Amino acid sequence: MKIFESDFPPDYRSAEIKAILAYITTGKFCQLICIPGAGKATILRLLAHNRKLLKSHLGEKEKGLRFVYINFFELTNFTEAEIIKLLLIGLDEKFQNSDDPLLLGRDLHEAVNRLSQNGQTIIFLFDHFDEHQNRLPHTFFQMLKSLRNLAKFKFSVVFATRRDLAGLVDEDILKDYWDFFVGNTVYLKVYDKVAVEYLFTQIENVFGQKIKAEQKTQITKLTGGHAKLTKIISELVLGKAVKPQTENLLKETPVMAALYEIWLFLTSSEQQLLSKISEGKTSDQIDENLIKLDLVSYQNKFTIPLLEDFVKSAKLNVQTKIIFDPQTNEIKRGESIISEILSAQEYRLLKFLIENPNKVIGRDEIIKAVWPQTEVTEAISDEAIDQMVFRLRKKIEDEPQKPIHIQTVKGIGLKFEP
């Protein structure tokens, strides 16, 4: 079966792919980071299915690379056994009809060892990793480490994520596996000339008609080259003869949905800052993370003008209550699923606080909720608790230095205001 991405041009997203290959061909892990809809899944599928592109970067060395695309959305059960099965399926390997992680783990180790001994370098491409990282068992990272120790420089991983995992995983995981997450980030720029031009060509081929040059210019100007928005608007132009103008586009449901997807992935403080920038109220407040994500420039200018118009016109409310949804086990702020940007420990703490609103929670209660395996509370330092609370406030508070939701009651503990 022919894969769609196999026909993409060899110079597609050349800078980012070159950077990824520099990591994985030397046995290092790598993070591919971008905002929703900017194209990280496309990059992973290109690596997995476009051998011409790989050969243009690596020459004959590409023959030794075995890319395995793994979509974490396919997992319904995040047990160690189910995760190992997914990896074995990705490798096209047979495995025992068992839910014993030890037996399945042995099958996985034998497969990776055999493939590496045969000269193949195995690279797992983990798509949608950040949305599910706090549901993974701690043994997941130990498994990756043992596979790397087994295959040495012939094993690597690319984590596709919307944020740097160094700010998402628990502190103990970051400490034990820091080389998985530190100093290995590749940020996907919103605009890439080759990618935009090829996207227009694809859409024109589907519709059997051309997009006018001036329309392409206007679309790119409004979207900043953002892949999903560019695709949606181009389809509206050809399919419904919608003029690529802000007032028209902000009436279209698919456009608004794509813009909301970007908006809802942001933290509360990031939403606050973008709202201020859209109103021209800030000139010196710079958020390095928003710049890395290529949402704003160092001059505090939006890289996606249509997003700025959306923020201005939608009158977005960023002061919604924080709730826990027992049906989905998600923590939400309005429509934003903020549990996706929390580490496992941060999730347990916030869930516990939400379930005990306006109650002062002491140190021992916090430790029991966040570190349930700990038998001696003194084993958890006050510094560890303070650091976790600091990180959590940065993710949920409008102004982390002036917290409204997670308040400190001096000498006693924490109190949560929904």
Pair (198, 161) in one structural domain: no
Which tens digits make up the pLDDT trace of 147-198?
999 998 999 999 999 999 999 999 889 999 999 999 999 999 999 999 999 9
What's the average model confidence in pLDDT over 401-408? Answer: 89
Q: From CA 223, how far away is CA 225, in angstroms rounded? A: 5
Pair (178, 69) in one structural domain: yes
Pair (12, 144) in one structural domain: yes
Q: From CA 282, how far away is CA 276, in angstroms rounded? A: 6
Q: What is the mean pLDDT of the chain?
A: 91
Write out the DSSP string of 281-309: --SS---HHHHHTTSB-TT--BSSHHHHH
Pair (20, 151) in one structural domain: yes
Most confident among 124-133, 367-376, 391-400 (mean pLDDT): 124-133
Q: Which residue has the tokens 């990776």?
A: 112
Final residue of a structural domain among 253, 286, 318: 318
- 377: domain CATH number is 1.10.10.10
- Residue ranges making up the domain that contains 251: 190-318
pLDDT value at residue 166: 94
Cβ 227 vs Cβ 198: under 8 Å? no
Pair (79, 33) in one structural domain: yes
Report the range of poorest mean pLDDT among 4-8, 35-39, 159-163: 4-8
pLDDT value at residue 144: 97
Cβ partners under 8 Å of residue 348, min gap 6: 369, 370
Pair (20, 104) in one structural domain: yes
Q: Which residue has the tokens 């080759």?
A: 194
What's the average model confidence in pLDDT over 386-390? Answer: 90
Q: Which residue did the predictor score with more confidence, 319 or 169? A: 169
pLDDT value at residue 2: 57
Cβ 282 vs Cβ 276: under 8 Å? yes
Which tens digits make up the pLDDT trace of 235-269?
999 999 999 999 999 999 999 999 999 999 998 88
Looking at the predicted structure, is the pLDDT value of residue 115 above 80? yes
Report the range of poorest mean pLDDT among 20-29, 82-91, 182-191, 409-418: 409-418
Give the tokens for residue 75: 């997992």
Pair (22, 154) in one structural domain: yes
What's the average model confidence in pLDDT over 133-155? Answer: 94
pLDDT value at residue 226: 98
Looking at the predicted structure, is the pLDDT value of residue 11 above 70? yes
pLDDT value at residue 317: 57
pLDDT value at residue 56: 95
pLDDT value at residue 43: 96
Q: From CA 345, how far away is CA 134, in angstroms rounded? A: 8
Q: How many structural domains compose the chain?
A: 3
Final residue of a structural domain among 288, 318, 348: 318
Pair (72, 211) in one structural domain: no
Pair (172, 273) in one structural domain: no
Final residue of a structural domain among 318, 333, 348: 318
Q: Which residue did the predictor score with more confidence, 318 or 397? A: 397
pLDDT value at residue 315: 65
pLDDT value at residue 316: 64
Pair (362, 311) in one structural domain: no
Q: What is the pTM of this model?
A: 0.91
Pair (164, 298) in one structural domain: no
Which tens digits make up the pLDDT trace of 320-375?
789 999 988 899 988 888 999 999 999 999 999 999 999 998 888 988 998 887 76
What's the average model confidence in pLDDT over 203-224? Answer: 96
Q: What one-character DSSP code corresponds to residue 354?
A: H
Q: From CA 238, how far away is CA 202, in angstroms rounded? A: 12
Write out the DSSP string of 382-401: HHHHHHHHHHHHHHH-SSTT
Q: Which contacts of 197-205 are long-range, i.e. CB under 8 A and separated by 24 or more positions?
A: 198/8, 198/9, 198/12, 199/227, 199/230, 199/231, 199/234, 200/230, 200/234, 203/231, 203/234, 203/235, 203/238, 204/238
| Confidence tier at 384 by pLDDT (50, 70, 90) | confident
What is the identity of the amino acid at 360? Answer: V
- 64: domain CATH number is 3.40.50.300
Report the range of poorest mean pLDDT among 63-72, 272-281, 313-322: 313-322
- Partnered with residue 409 across adjacent β-strands are 413
Pair (93, 228) in one structural domain: no
